[in-house]
C-alpha cells in the first residue's frame, strides 16, 4: 500500500477517562520508521450535522452557549449518535429536537473528522429539505437553543464576518453551498 510509510500502529494503551459522550485513551504507538511515541486520543461515537433549508431558501441555524469556549455560537443543528444508531435516524431526531422541523428529504453532503489530530469523531453531514413543522419533541435537558433563520447569503456572510466560528457549521454550510443547496 502506498501509505505504509506513514502508518502508525497501536502497541498498547489505557483509558484514563470515560464520560457520557467520550472516552480518553493514552496509547503507546509504533511509528512507521520503528520509533515509538504516545498519542492522546478522544474516542467519540460520532455525530450528525444538518443544514436545514426552507422552501423559500432560508437556512435554519441555532444559537447556543458552548461552555468550553465561553461563547454563544451560531451553528447548524447537530447531535451525537446513540450507541449503534443509524446516522439518518439520528439526523431526523436532532433536526426535530433542535429546530422543531421535520424534513421530507435528507441529502448526504459528506463525512469528515472533527479534529483528527486527537479525536476519532466522524461527522455525517446532511442538507435537510422539504421542511415542515414537527412534533414538539423535548430537546436535551441540559441544552438551551435559540432557532435563527436567515438567507443563504446572510449565512455565508456570517462566515466571512467571523460570526460563524464553529468548524462543523463552516464545513456544513460550505458543502451545502458547493453542492447547490444554498
Joined grid coordinates for residue 130? 422539504
CA distance 129 to 105: 5
Measure Cα distances from 23 to 36, 90, 102, 132 in Å.
Answer: 23, 21, 32, 37
Q: Which residues contact 140 (CB under 8 A, 6 or more apart)?
A: 97
pLDDT (mean) for 174-180? 97
Q: What rounded mean pLDDT belongs to the chain?
A: 94
DSSP reduced 3-state for 170: helix
**Domain ranges in the chain?**
4-44, 47-178
Q: How confident is the model at residue 50 (pLDDT cuts 50, 70, 90)?
A: very high
Q: How confident is the model at residue 134 (pLDDT cuts 50, 70, 90)?
A: confident
**How confident is the model over 135-159, as pLDDT tens digits?**
765 555 676 899 999 999 999 999 9
Place of cell 485513551: 25
Place of cell 474516542: 43
Percent of the chain with pLDDT over 90: 92
Place of cell 421535520: 102
Residue 21 has pLDDT above 60, yes or no: yes
Residue 106 has pLDDT above 90, yes or no: yes
pLDDT (mean) for 97-105? 96
Pairing type for strands 36-44 and 22-30 reads antiparallel
pLDDT (mean) for 67-93? 97
CA dihedral 99, 114, 151, 95 (to 10 degrees): -20
* CATH of span 47-178: 3.90.79.10
CA distance 176 to 159: 13
Measure Cα distances from 49 to 7, 62, 87, 104 in Å.
Answer: 29, 12, 10, 16
Measure Cα distances from 60 to 92, 122, 126, 135, 169 in Å.
Answer: 14, 23, 13, 17, 11
Percent of the chain with pLDDT over 70: 95
Give the pTM: 0.92
Amino acid at each position: 500500500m502506498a501509505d505504509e510509510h506513514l502508518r502508525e500502529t497501536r502497541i498498547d494503551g489505557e483509558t484514563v477517562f470515560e464520560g457520557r459522550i467520550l472516552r480518553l485513551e493514552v496509547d503507546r504507538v509504533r511509528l512507521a520508521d520503528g520509533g515509538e511515541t504516545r498519542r492522546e486520543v478522544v474516542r467519540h461515537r460520532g455525530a450528525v450535522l444538518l443544514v436545514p433549508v426552507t422552501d423559500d431558501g432560508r437556512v435554519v441555524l441555532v444559537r447556543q452557549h458552548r461552555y468550553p469556549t465561553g461563547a454563544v455560537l451560531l451553528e447548524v443543528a447537530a447531535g451525537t449518535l446513540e450507541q449503534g444508531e443509524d446516522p439518518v435516524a439520528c439526523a431526523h431526531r436532532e433536526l426535530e429536537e433542535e429546530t422543531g422541523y421535520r424534513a421530507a428529504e435528507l441529502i448526504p453532503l459528506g463525512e469528515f473528522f472533527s479534529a483528527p489530530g486527537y479525536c476519532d469523531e466522524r461527522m455525517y453531514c446532511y442538507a435537510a429539505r422539504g421542511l415542515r413543522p414537527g412534533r414538539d419533541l423535548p430537546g436535551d435537558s441540559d441544552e438551551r437553543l435559540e432557532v435563527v433563520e436567515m438567507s443563504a447569503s446572510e449565512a455565508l456572510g456570517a462566515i466571512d464576518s467571523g460570526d460563524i466560528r464553529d468548524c462543523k457549521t463552516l464545513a456544513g454550510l460550505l458543502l451545502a453551498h458547493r453542492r447547490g443547496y444554498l
